[in-house]
Amino acid sequence: MNILFESQNGTGYITINRPDKLNALNIDTINELKETILKVDQDKTIKCVIITGSGEKAFVAGADIEYMQKLTPNQALEFARLGQETLHLMETSGKPFIACVNGYALGGGFEVALSCDIILAQSNAKFGFPEVGLGIIPGFGGTQNLSRLIGKSLAKELIFSAKMIDASKAKEVGIVSEVYQSKEELLQAGKALSEQIQKNAPLAIALAKRAIVDGFNLTKEDGLRYEASLFGVVFSSNDAKEGLSAFVEKRKPNYTGG
């Protein structure tokens, strides 16, 4: 099992589990990850998902280099497509995904984190794209997602130089929301954030995520139109009625997700 999964109190925990290989992503791991994300997406009891890496040393140290070394160009293209498709499932899911990054998040591992909605990090985290040092380029969405997140200039510097940045630099440039000393604290913070998110209306969260994720590919004008149309959709939900009434009636809302 290269992917471990459990759920507790509305949070799904996905652990990438090849600690002997610093959780490097070979095709079996990507396929298992894809199946797990699809399963999580269908499961109505899961409201928020946390992804982390097994062991102390790495979140994911990239795509599996030994595996990639044996690929033909066509197989490499298929592998890149499978990876992109898998990570895109997290971006299109209505549920928030939180990356809890412990240790190395390199290449494909950095790309897994960038496809999550929120990134929390342990102080030992190291982020980077070593690909050009291997004669290849990022292939699971890194060129697109990093430049959209931190701007083209810094994205180019990191990708062209293949240098790693630590957790505090990653926070400074807006990749990481918060840094924690130990893995235990990191996972505790992920759980607390998931619980905080779960107090709110699930449909509203899903539609706010759509507005932000899809809005990135639109002009400001189109983005505003899109936001207004989603506002219309959410306003007709039971949860919108419940949330607004609960405030007026000075009580806690009871959201059902409809």
**57 vs 210, beta carbon nearer ligand CO8:** 57
Whether 111 is catalytic is yes
66 binds ligand CO8 (CB under 6 A): yes
Of the candidates 124, 81, 83, 133, the one whose C-alpha atom is nearest the C-alpha of residue 105 is 124
Pure H helices in the chain: 27-42, 65-69, 73-92, 108-115, 142-150, 152-161, 167-172, 183-198, 202-215, 220-235, 238-248
Q: What dihedral angle (degrees, nearest 10) is formed by the CA atoms of 8, 13, 19, 23?
A: 170
106 binds ligand CO8 (CB under 6 A): yes
Tell me how many residues contact ligand CO8 (CB under 6 A).
Answer: 24
Each residue 126-155 as x (binds ligand CO8 by CB under 6 A) or -, in order, gives: ----xx--x---xxx---------------
Whether 172 is catalytic is no
113 binds ligand CO8 (CB under 6 A): no
Q: The tokens of 227 are what?
A: 């936001």
76 binds ligand CO8 (CB under 6 A): yes
Which one of the spans 103-111, 114-122, 185-193, 226-234 is the region binding ligand CO8 (CB under 6 A)? 103-111
55 binds ligand CO8 (CB under 6 A): no
Least spacing, CB of residue 82 vs ligand CO8, in Å: 8
107 binds ligand CO8 (CB under 6 A): yes
Least spacing, CB of residue 17 vs ligand CO8, in Å: 13
d(CA 49, CA 11): 6
Phi, psi (5° rounding) for residue 228?
A: -60, -40
Exposure string for 64-97, b = 16+ CB within 10 A, e = fewer: beebbeeeeeeeeeebbebbbebbebbbebebbb
**What distance separates the 2 farthest-apart alpha carbons in the chain?**
64
**61 vs 203, beta carbon nearer ligand CO8:** 61
Q: The tokens of 28 are what?
A: 């079996």
Each residue 4-33 as x (binds ligand CO8 by CB under 6 A) or -, in order, gives: -----------------xx-x---------
**12 vs 53, beta carbon nearer ligand CO8:** 53
Instruction: Judge contact between 63 and 107, C-beta under 8 A.
Output: yes
Instruction: Judge contact between 23 and 60, C-beta under 8 A.
Output: yes
**162 vs 204, beta carbon nearer ligand CO8:** 162
Q: Cα–Cα distances in Å, from 212 out to 148, 199, 226?
A: 12, 20, 10
**79 vs 255, beta carbon nearer ligand CO8:** 79
Q: Which position among 78, 131, 178, 184 bears the catalytic label?
A: 131
For the annotated catalytic residues, the residue numbers are 111, 131
Binding site for ligand CO8 (CB under 6 A): 21-22, 24, 61-66, 68, 76, 79-80, 83, 104, 106-108, 130-131, 134, 138-140
